[in-house]
Amino acid sequence: MSPVVHQAAIRHPARRADARTVGSRTMLREAMGRLIAARFSDNLAVMICECRWLAIVVALSFNGLACFRTPMDAQQVVTMDTTGGIGGGATEATSGGTTGTIGGSSSGGGTAGATGRNSGTIGGTARGGTTSSTGGVGEGGTTGGTTSSAGTTGTTVLQRVFVPTGSMAAARRFHTATLLPSGKVLIVGGDRAGTLLASAELYDPAAGTFTATGSMAVARPEHTATLLPSGKVLLAGDWSLGSSELYDPDAGTFTGTGDMKTARYGHTATLLPNGKVLVAGGDNFGGHADPASAELYDPAAGTFTATGSMTTKRYDHTATLLPNGKVLITGGDGGDDGYTILASAELYDPIAGTFTATGSMAVARCEHRATLLPSGKVLIAGGALAGTTPLTSAELYDPAAGTFAATGRMTVAREYHTATLLPSGMVLVAGGDDSSGDILASAELYDPGAGTFTATGSMTAGRIDFTATLLPSGMVLVAGGAGENGTLASAELYQ
């Protein structure tokens, strides 16, 4: 059994004076059974099976065959009338809605495309009930005529789950994961039980496997990785250096590029609409003050240049590109003692090259997560107060008003977790550790329409300091991190 020491304990003993050795209990979860439900009646047989991320509903009746294919996201509820015949005017309703699609995201909380959803509530409560006759309305749909007789609806709830996929070649935490234009995921660097890693590997969703690719010139933990418009990936910073490198997916190699003006880690890197990368804040193991400074990387020149400084120094904060092109900076730690946790927020204007204050959060927090929602608002979830106090609270930032407002609380307090925008517009929050210091395998979904969090399937292993990457298929790749027994090489898919 290997001890797992928290990141903040390594960097700030005051914040994690009680860094713990994690117990050895196993938290593996059985995957969901393949056969979900089967129901038969005199006139209709409905069998609902889970097929990876799709629910395929096949209805056989005396009047013909109907096949309905519904994208799965969160909890989908499928309701069908058991009276009359398909094609004979019987009620056919889908409760749970049909999800739309997302246009993608950029590094550091980049812009995501719009989503669409038909009537119904995703993740809502399954309902049965009785169909009406002669043109009656079913839940989420409309009848096409007269039913042969009033009957009862049958309802089945299908829930998305985490399932194992291929493991990485190296166990790692504090690494980065970047979705490449090819659909593969680049995993880079990190730390394995105190050994800093320069290695990198690629995850192929089609094969479900990781394969080695070129290594960096410098081992890096807690760096940033930003996908550039060229398709290359910028790797910047680490625990002691200001150096940077570029990964070329076509060549499978890393090459050096310009050095940052200030060595930093725990910083943010955000791709701007003009193609440059904003690097802001961070910490430094070299004995220097935590930087409030910021700089811009120009891919065309391959150099970093200074830009305006933040209104206060901060690290373990978040940076989110807003639809208006500005960058929202929230929270973080503003001191050297691990207890100067910030509620303040500010906006970077790429045109002016300056930071200005905006409304403050209701709760000071660091190690939280910020997710741009399809509405243009930003979800701030979890994180920690000073010391060892993970939070359940969440807030929404409204760029139009420049203010934060409370939204529903998470079901579990979390820090060191992940938050991933799904194609449905929901946000998957997974892992982290709680107020008892336990490493969590649980996950939950935030529904922007309802403003609430609800539990979803749990990961096969508890994780902190891991990555979660949305794949083109709509699945989410979870990789590495630290678990109950040490650094992890395992990976899994939320599907």
Question: Quick one: 77 and 113 in the same domain?
Answer: yes
Question: Quick one: 344 and 448 in the same domain?
Answer: yes
Q: Considering only 62-71, 166-175, 224-233, 313-322, which range has the smallest mean pLDDT? A: 62-71
Question: Quick one: 326 and 402 in the same domain?
Answer: yes
Instruction: Please give the C-alpha separations between residue 423 and each of 71, 342, 395, 428, in angstroms, as whole numbers.
Output: 10, 31, 21, 11
N-to-C CA span, the chain: 30
CA 479 to CA 3: how far, in whole Å? 19
Name the band, by pLDDT with cuts 50, 70 and 90, for residue 128.
Answer: very low
Residue 241 pLDDT: 77
CA 123-399-233 angle, 5° bins: 80
Flag whether 106 is in a domain. yes
Flag whether 20 is in a domain. no
Look at the chain and report how many structural domains it folds into: 2
Mean pLDDT of 157-184: 93
Express each pLDDT in 405-416 by its tens digit: 999 999 999 999
Query: Is 9 strand, coil or helix?
Result: helix
Residue 240 pLDDT: 72
Structure-model confidence comparison of residues 112 and 233, the more confident one: 233
Closest to 423 in 3D by CA, of 116, 53, 77: 116
Decide if 239 contacts 285 (C-beta within 8 A): yes
- pLDDT at position 173 over 60: yes
CA 166-439-218 angle, 5° bins: 60
Determine the length of the chain.
Answer: 495
pLDDT more than 90, % of the chain: 61
Paired tokens of 438? 């336990």
Query: Is 165 strand, coil or helix?
Result: strand
Express each pLDDT in 237-282 by its tens digit: 987 778 999 999 999 999 999 999 999 989 999 999 999 999 999 9
Secondary structure element (H or E) that encloses residue 304, with its range: strand 303-307
Flag whether 240 is in a domain. yes
- Domain boundary (101, 136, 159) is at 159
Express each pLDDT in 221-238 by its tens digit: 999 999 999 999 999 998
Question: Quick one: 54 and 124 in the same domain?
Answer: yes
HEC string of 231-245 equals CCEEEECCCCCCCEE
- pLDDT at position 468 over 70: yes
CA 106 to CA 270: how far, in whole Å? 8
Question: Quick one: 103 and 171 in the same domain?
Answer: no
Question: Quick one: 140 and 187 in the same domain?
Answer: no
Name the band, by pLDDT with cuts 50, 70 and 90, for residue 338.
Answer: low
- Domain boundary (129, 159, 189) is at 159
- pLDDT at position 487 over 90: yes
Mean pLDDT of 84-103: 31
Flag whether 2 is in a domain. no
Domain that holds residue 98: 35-159
Question: Quick one: 228 and 311 in the same domain?
Answer: yes
- pLDDT at position 39 over 90: no
Decide if 173 contacts 488 (C-beta within 8 A): yes
Flag whether 441 is in a domain. yes
Residue 411 pLDDT: 97
Mean pLDDT of 304-311: 97
Question: Quick one: 235 and 131 in the same domain?
Answer: no
Question: Quick one: 297 and 427 in the same domain?
Answer: yes
- pLDDT at position 324 over 80: yes
Flag whether 6 is in a domain. no
Paired tokens of 430? 């997974």
- pLDDT at position 363 over 70: yes
Residue 281 pLDDT: 95
Mean pLDDT of 135-150: 33
CATH code for position 253: 2.120.10.80
Question: Quick one: 349 and 417 in the same domain?
Answer: yes
Greatest distance between any 2 Cα atoms in the chain = 80
- Domain boundary (120, 140, 159) is at 159
